[in-house]
């Protein structure tokens, strides 16, 4: 697994932990990293960047998700699905030079490992719609 994919996976896991455990970002950091000594600094740094952006901009990210996930309220989505989307959108917002297609593809690969098989098409559709919206706003 590549360094960036591992970072994206770790960011999703941190978001999942905070979401499911109702933990603050500080609590997540305190509990998440001690059992992961083998993670190198670059991988950890990129994961923490995505997580930081996702938590700092969560209201904006959740609004984007609900606007593009037709007939789905965010609290009704599977916990893995919504946090994969949050991590991907955070990366799209925080790293505009990374092509959205790469972020989406990486998110789908992580979803194949953690999400239900039927989630793949849902995640792809929502992420693609959000990516197009973000690009349109950048070009406006």
For the chain, which domains are there?
3-139 (1.10.940.10)
**Can you tell me the distance from the alpha carbon of 14 to that of 25, in angstroms, rounded to the nearest whole number?**
9
Q: What is the pLDDT of residue 1?
A: 59
Confidence of residue 137 (pLDDT cuts 50, 70, 90): confident
Query: Which region among 4-8, 28-32, 34-38 has the lowest average model confidence (pLDDT)?
Result: 34-38
| pTM given for the model | 0.94
Upper half-sphere CA count for residue 130 (Cβ side, 13 Å): 30
**Mean pLDDT computed over 85-106:** 96
Distance (Å, whole) CA 51 – CA 72: 23
């Amino acid at each position: 697994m590549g360094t960036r994919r591992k970072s994206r996976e770790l960011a999703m896991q941190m978001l999942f932990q905070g979401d499911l455990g109702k933990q603050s970002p500080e609590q997540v950091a305190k509990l998440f990293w001690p059992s992961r000594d083998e993670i190198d600094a670059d991988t950890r740094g990129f994961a923490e960047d995505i997580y930081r952006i996702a938590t700092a901009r969560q209201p904006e990210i959740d609004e984007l998700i609900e606007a593009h996930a037709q007939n789905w309220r965010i609290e009704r989505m599977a916990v893995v699905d919504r946090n994969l989307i949050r991590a991907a959108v955070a990366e799209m917002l925080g790293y505009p030079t990374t092509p959205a297609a790469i972020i989406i593809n990486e998110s789908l690969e992580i979803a194949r490992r953690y999400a239900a098989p039927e989630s793949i098409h849902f995640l792809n559709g929502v992420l693609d719609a959000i990516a197009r919206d973000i690009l349109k706003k950048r070009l406006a």
